[in-house]
Amino acid sequence: MNGVVVIDKPSGPTSRDVVEEVRLALGVRKAGHTGTLDPLATGVLPVCLGEATKLVQFLALDNKEYLATLLLGVRTDTLDTEGIVLTQEEPCVTREQVEAAVNGLKGKRLQIPPRYSAVKVRGRALYEWTRRGIDVEASAREVEIYDIRIEEIRLPEVIFAVSCSKGVYIRSLCAEVGETLGCGGCLSALRRTRSGNFREEEAVGLAGLTGEEKRERLSAHLVPLVELLPGLAVIDADPPLVERLRNGYQPDGEVLTRYHIPFLVAGDVIKITTHGEHLVAVARMLCASDELASWGEKRQAVKILRVFNDGTRCQRP
């Protein structure tokens, strides 16, 4: 079974727990998610199955959207309400001050991952070092907040929606707003509403279902490989080229001129399919499409990044 199922993760289990539940329900060997949600968080968790696990690195780059609740006046060691309370005070702030602090988060910024996070440092997750009492800090990473808007203010809570790049820790944003306002703050609730092209409207819950009911629901909502990465240009290959690709062939310009090639530039990532039904490969162009004819025989025109054995067509509901 190859494809992606979008799970509506409940609060409590880890993302790994959810992946394992899906894997066991469907009886597949390989499964993985495209971006961790903390145990506290709920919402969109795409789970890749079988050959789709080869796409995790591409899907993990997708932008995300969240609905978050900030609790002002409380600082914790984990930056959320599941941690140990370090300080607590009544937030004496105005609506205008809150709006200015939240809106100030927009744009590119360097963000250091929280000490309680799954980011790997020297071969171990950061939270493992922290729990051992070893002071290890991850390097700052550039992230971007594309848009952020306040949905509701009912002090000490502030509910806001945020659209951001991969790698953003909403906990850290909440703590930053709290420090800007001088009273501290932490995350009290978080829901991911979108991950790339996957939205909460298509996410499925598994709570209260029997094993057979889980299998049926997951199978009915499986997104096939060929429908993933819809923003990429597509080359539809014939069976002889498909066979060569699966045997390690890197196409040259002459071979590709036999196909309809959309306008592409060097560096563009593309999908290669067959009959529009099965995903064969994901590749990167080494030249522009209008240069293929002059690229010539024996000169590699694309670099194959991943090859898929997608032999079964998945039916969407």
C-alpha 215/C-alpha 223 separation (Å) is: 14
Counts for the chain of helices (H) and strands (E), in that order: 9, 17
Peptide bond connecting 156 to the previous residue in cis, omega within 30 degrees of 0: yes
Question: What phi and psi, each to the nearest 5 degrees, are found at residue 209?
Answer: -90, 145
CB 64 within 8 A of CB 166: yes
List own/partner pairs for 238-243 with CB under 8 A and 24 or more apart. Answer: 238/274, 239/274, 242/274, 242/280
User: Angle 211-220/15-26 helices, nearest 10 degrees?
Assistant: 90
Identify residue 304 by its one-letter amino acid code. Answer: I
Active-site option among 38, 62, 80, 310: 38
What number of CA atoms fall less than 13 Å from residue 24's CA on the CB side? 9
Q: Is residue 268 among the annotated active site residues?
A: no
CB 126 within 8 A of CB 136: yes
Question: Catalytic positions, please?
Answer: 38
